[in-house]
Amino acid sequence: MKENTAYLFEDKRLGFFLYLVVEAIMFATLFATYIIYTPASRGADPSEVYELRTVVLTSIFLLSSSGTLLIAERGLKNWSRMKIWIGLGATFLLGGAFMVLEVHEFYKYWSEGYTLSMNNFLSSFYVLVGLHASHVAFGLAWMILLMFQFTKQLPRALFIEKHKIFNYYWHFVDVIWVLIICIVYAPYLF
């Protein structure tokens, strides 16, 4: 017979997947907005704004963070505290590096005069990529909380549950980043 907590976890997982559907539709709407308004008839063109170097660096950091999270997932499976710490820690550092670069990217564009209200390409770029960046920031705070919970004596099943829900979230945010590379950056960089 299945344990009670297994039922509760499966409820929560389905609920969270449905929430990710909601998020996916929100991002889809913003992607549509970006596609419609880019490139704009006036003001900056994407090809003069984007820089290949930043995009490559941010992508390396964020995409590899999904990989390091797999270490933590392995640790959850055979309950190795070591692996969980390494996985979470590495993911946090990589995510943090992404975040720093992202903020720097925005700052740089802004100081070059490519502001939010210059034209609709930039408006939709900032809203879309900014929403993604705030998801990463939220994920970083979530990881700190998760690590804090890990140091406490939480029931193991509950910690595993919380960790798994976070994993789905982080992988989802990564998938959105892949879409951002393909739809937002790639057409104007190559």
Partner 1 sequence: MNVPFIGEVPSDIVVSWIVTVLLGIFIMWWMTSRRKWPLVGEYVTTTDNRKIGTMYILLAMVFFIRGGMDAMFIRTQLAVPENEFWVFQSQKYNEVFTTHGTVMIFFVAMPLLIGLMNIAVPLQLGANDLAFPYLNSISFWLFVAGGVIFNMAFFFNAAPNAGWTSYAPLATDTYTTGPNNNYYIFGLQISGLGTIFTAINMIVTIVRLRAPGMKMTRMPLFSWATLITSILILIAFPVLTISLLLLTFDRLYGTSFFLGEYGNPVYWQHLFWIFGHPEVYILILPAFGIFSDIISTFSKKRVYGYTSMVIAICLIGLLGFMVWAHHMFTVGLGALANAIFAITTMLIAVPTGIKIFNWLFTMRRGVVRITTPMLFSLGFIPTFVIGGVTGVMLAVAAADYQYHDSYFVVAHFHYTMIGGTILGAFAGIYYWYPKMTGKMLDEKLGKWHFWLFIIGFHLTFMPQHFAGLNGMPRRVYTYTWEDGLFLLNFVSTIGAFLMGASMLFVAWNLYKTHRYTDKVGPDPWDGRTLEWTVDSPPSEHPFHPIPKVDSIDAYWYSKLDKKPLPSSEEIRPSPIPVKTIQPLVLAGILIFMSIGFIYQWVWMQVIGGSLALGFFILRSLTDEREKTYREEEES
The residues of the shown chain that bind partner 1, judged by CB under 8 A, are 3-5, 7-8, 10-12, 14-15, 18-19, 21-23, 25-26, 29-30, 33, 36-37, 40-43, 116-117, 119-120, 123-124, 127, 141-142, 145, 149, 154-158, 162
Complex with partner 1: residue 59 or 124, whichever CB lies closer? 124
**Nearest distance from C-beta of residue 99 to partner 1, angstroms:** 16
Complex with partner 1: residue 56 or 134, whichever CB lies closer? 134
**Nearest distance from C-beta of residue 105 to partner 1, angstroms:** 19
Complex with partner 1: residue 162 or 171, whichever CB lies closer? 162
Q: How many residues does the chain have?
A: 190
CA 139 to CA 152: how far, in whole Å? Answer: 20
Complex with partner 1: residue 25 or 52, whichever CB lies closer? 25
**Nearest distance from C-beta of residue 60 to partner 1, angstroms:** 29
Secondary structure (DSSP) of 121-190? HHHHHHHHHHHHHHHHHHHHHHHHHHHHHHHTT--HHHHHHHHHHHHHHHHHHHHHHHHHIIIIIHHHH-
**Nearest distance from C-beta of residue 21 to partner 1, angstroms:** 6
CA dihedral over 183, 185, 187, 190, signed as positive or negative: negative
User: Among 61, 98, 55, 60, which Cα is nearest to 190's?
Assistant: 55
Contact 185, 50 (CB under 8 A): yes
